[in-house]
Amino acid sequence: MSIFRNTFKNNIFFFLVLTFGFSVNANSAEGTTFKNLKPGFSFEGPFGKFDKESLKRGYQVYSEVCSSCHGLKQLSFRNLSQPGGPEFSIERVKEIASGYSITDGFDEYGEPIERSMLPSDRFPRPYGSKEEAKGANNGAYPPDLSLIVKARSDGYNYLYSLLKGYEEEIPEDLDIGDLSYNPWYPGGAIAMYQPLYDESVEYEDGTPATLDQMSYDVANFLTWAAEPTMEERKRLGFIVMGFLIIFVILMYLSVSRLFRDVH
């Protein structure tokens, strides 16, 4: 019936535009040499949820290895205990936070006061300034990791592949100076030395800390760090889409009923 014909025309339009939209995005990804490995993460898909144990392990990798150079400035310690994330207990979070100190205010002599951090404080910055960070890392700035997964195309798979991807043998035609070779990094020459090796950390929960496991866990953790509200988003999405599907059926029935007596 005519309603279908016209809606169909609309949909063709929409799909055409979307296809171009999607292809545009895929092609604007920075030219990675290799295609990203896809180990499959539990948060993928419309019903995805984070694997909390993996998030906890990923946090351990971040705090023991990455945090010496990479900040996580958009997050506060309290985020570690909120629902939808690693869900550490509040006591554990207080314990983690109190291990760091921060200057807060001045005493009556004008001297800065040091106090230990609270859950409400942000994660501490590894360096005082971008320049200091560059200076300590051969001129390369270790980016803040709060949003790294959203700042790269196919971010979590890219991170996973990158961390596992360091190779000893450098291709002959590539001159990388004293940088490291990683075929997943655009251009191949990466300033960060391989950060993770088997057993770089000893997991609290006893899981064997292979390079693969740590890369997976930290990619998981950083995906959560980039978007802590993801579980809530998908949960709300399910309710909204369900509502809209029922509503659209009701609306369709109303339209066809109304227009039966037209023409």
Residue type, 248: V
Closest contact distance (angstroms) between CB of 16 and another protein is 6
Contact positions with another protein (CB under 8 A) in 198-257: 226-229, 232-234, 236-237, 240-241, 243-248, 250-255, 257
Residue whose CB is less far from another protein, 46 or 110: 46
Q: What are the structure tokens assigned to 206, written together?
A: 């006893």
User: Between 158 and 197, how does the x/- string for binding to another protein read (CB under 8 A)?
Assistant: ----------------------------x-----------
Q: What is the distance between the alpha carbons of residues 125 and 143, in angstroms, rounded to a whole number?
A: 11
Length of the chain: 263
C-beta of residue 231 within 8 angstroms of C-beta of residue 49: yes
Pick from 1, 24, 40, 206 the residue near another protein by CB under 8 A. Answer: 24
Q: What is the distance between the alpha carbons of residues 43 and 51, in angstroms, rounded to a whole number?
A: 8
Q: Which helix (H) or strand (E) holds 20?
A: helix 2-27
Pick from 63, 82, 98, 207 the residue near another protein by CB under 8 A. Answer: 82
Contact positions with another protein (CB under 8 A) in 97-126: 118-120
Q: Rounded to 5 degrees, what are φ and ψ at 134?
A: -65, -40
Which DSSP state fits 81? G
Q: What are the structure tokens assigned to 174, written together?
A: 């590539």
Residue whose CB is less far from another protein, 14 or 193: 14
Q: What is the distance between the alpha carbons of residues 73 and 145, in angstroms, rounded to a whole number?
A: 8
Angle between helices 52-64 and 211-226 (to 10 degrees): 100
Q: What is the distance between the alpha carbons of residues 182 and 185, in angstroms, rounded to a whole number?
A: 6
Alpha helices in 39-103 (DSSP H): 52-64, 90-98
Give the E-state strand segments of 11-60 in sequence order. Answer: none
Q: Does 78 bind another protein (CB under 8 A)?
A: yes
Pick from 147, 176, 189, 191 the residue near another protein by CB under 8 A. Answer: 147
Pick from 137, 143, 191, 212 the residue near another protein by CB under 8 A. Answer: 143
Pick from 32, 146, 157, 161 the residue near another protein by CB under 8 A. Answer: 146
Closest contact distance (angstroms) between CB of 58 and another protein is 18
Q: Does 57 bind another protein (CB under 8 A)?
A: no
Closest contact distance (angstroms) between CB of 70 and another protein is 14
Residues interacting with another protein, by CB under 8 A? 2-3, 6-7, 9-10, 13-14, 16-17, 20-25, 27-30, 46, 74-76, 78-79, 82, 118-120, 143, 146-147, 150-153, 155, 186, 226-229, 232-234, 236-237, 240-241, 243-248, 250-255, 257-263
